[in-house]
Structure 1
């Protein structure tokens, strides 16, 4: 059983700039923390992702640096630095970034980045950094 002191000794701040500096690959989320049943991840986008949806999970995308376009089947939404977008489960979507963008993600640990689609961009088990 964890004591209050042992739990408190594990609490540390997370520096997002430092985390983003640890990788350069695109479309490959990295886990930086856990919040209840949600994982906190960082990812860099550039180019077009695949159309996909997540049957059982919602996703939150928060732009830390840059901007991107979230394509939905019935509209397109521009998301800029300091803004976020929540994609409800079951909604087909595709992020696109003309320039590199740095994103903070909040999503369940069960999620696969490409949803039901499996291809070269699929990350089944993201790295922890």
Structure 2
């Protein structure tokens, strides 16, 4: 058996692009993804799955049609399936996503920010 620790800072140092999640591990059918965000994302929805955001560095916001949340380092927020939302950050923010394998970052919305899925670092 090959036991391997995943160093989040090392993985984050391997890419610079924003809004392009990178897979760092899997557990059952779920993937752990790192992503750097800055500026505005697009309004989108994931009809079939909840989406978990864990802020590692910086601060991010999630707009909903009826409100907003701010997530700071060390905090976690779960967007329930079927809830339209838009993420944004005023400055670069590093986050971890936990979601089922195959989830597209823009949900069912086609956008120039739709990232290639399943990219491992």
Smaller-chain TM-score bracket: over 0.9
Post-superposition offset of 1:120: 1.0
8 Å contact kept, 1:67–1:78: yes
The structure richer in helix per residue is 1
Post-superposition offset of 1:126: 3.2
8 Å contact kept, 2:54–2:95: yes
1:75 pairs with 2:67: yes
Post-superposition offset of 1:119: 1.3
- How is 1:1-129 mapped onto 2 (pairs within 5 angstroms)? 9-129=1-121
**Structure with bigger gyration radius:** 1
Post-superposition offset of 1:10: 2.6
Which sections of structure 1, spanning at least 5 residues, go unmatched?
1-8
Distance 2:2 2:50 in 1: 28
Which sections of structure 2, spanning at least 5 residues, go unmatched?
none
Two-structure CA RMSD over aligned residues (Å): 0.8
Under a length normalisation based on structure 1, what TM-score does the superposition of the two structures give? 0.91
Under a length normalisation based on structure 2, what TM-score does the superposition of the two structures give? 0.97
Distance 1:35 1:51 in 2: 28
